[in-house]
Amino acid sequence: MDRDIATPLRTRAILEKYGFTFKKSLGQNFLIDTNILNNIVDHAEITPESGVIEIGAGIGALTEQLAKRCKKVLAFEIDQRLLPILEDTLSPYPHVSVVHQDFLKADVHQAIETYLQEVKDIAIVANLPYYVTTPIIMKCLEDHLPFRSMVIMMQKEVGSRITAKPGTKDYGSLSIAIQYYTTAEIVMNVPKTVFIPQPNVDSAVVKLTKRDQPVVAVKDEQFFFNIVKFSFAQRRKTILNNLVSQLENGKEKKERIMAALEKAEIDPTRRGETLTIEEFAKLSDGLLPYFA
């Protein structure tokens, strides 16, 4: 008998046994296709020596496939109602630790210290609720968690924005924030039909591989990200107009902004979406003395 959690039959049996009902507010969609889960785990390139952080364990479908291949799994689950289910479904895997916490509020460094201390190689793997995808990825990057790569299932449209290149409609401050720290690629598309309940949109699995150093060196990281954000404030506006309207005292310092654009060899009539990360780095370093 197929004991994998991620089959329609077994998933329904587990939900019925515990009388579990889905909470829309938590964006719960459970995968019922073992092949897709195995594919996700393949992309994470984990070994019997690896530790994996999973965000949102659900009923343990992905957790189980990870546990079969790695040394330790540290799984975060926010929904208290799932804890007894996970205790049951993951009972064959003593090397899985489930932490009942909101990942966004958790001290993840402390959890790694507690549960993954003997592991050198850490990957993050998750099927994320759509509404928290971006904050979770940014927390992992900004908190400088010691992971090698992240393999994350998300809404297809968010995947397109994260991996977008300059000059495309999907390219924006999110693309730049994530590509600053990682190399980002869509490794597979997932149809909505393989979930219970079925979401309204298709999904994509994105692999983010952490860079040893950010892709560009900037004098002030926070200022760099602000300049990026300001440049996309109104997509139809030119880079010059966005910066003049968004930077403090931008109107009075228009000449300075013009000079910084010229020094960075950026035509002031271009739009933010056409600039590469390297151009944004040059521009933010050039503007820093006037606006820091």
Residue 247 known to bind ligand: no
Residue 102 known to bind ligand: yes
Residue 226 known to bind ligand: no
Neighbouring residues of 140: CB distance < 8 A, sequence distance ≥ 6: 108, 124, 147, 150
Residue 128 known to bind ligand: no
Residue 241 known to bind ligand: no
100: left (phi over 0), alpha (psi -120 to 50) or beta: beta
Residue 19 known to bind ligand: no
3 to each of 61, 64, 70, 89, 253, how far by Cα in Å? 11, 11, 19, 10, 67
Residues in the chain: 292
Residue ranges of the binding site for S-adenosyl-L-methionine: 29, 31, 56, 77, 102, 127
Residue ranges of the binding site: 29, 31, 56, 77, 102, 127
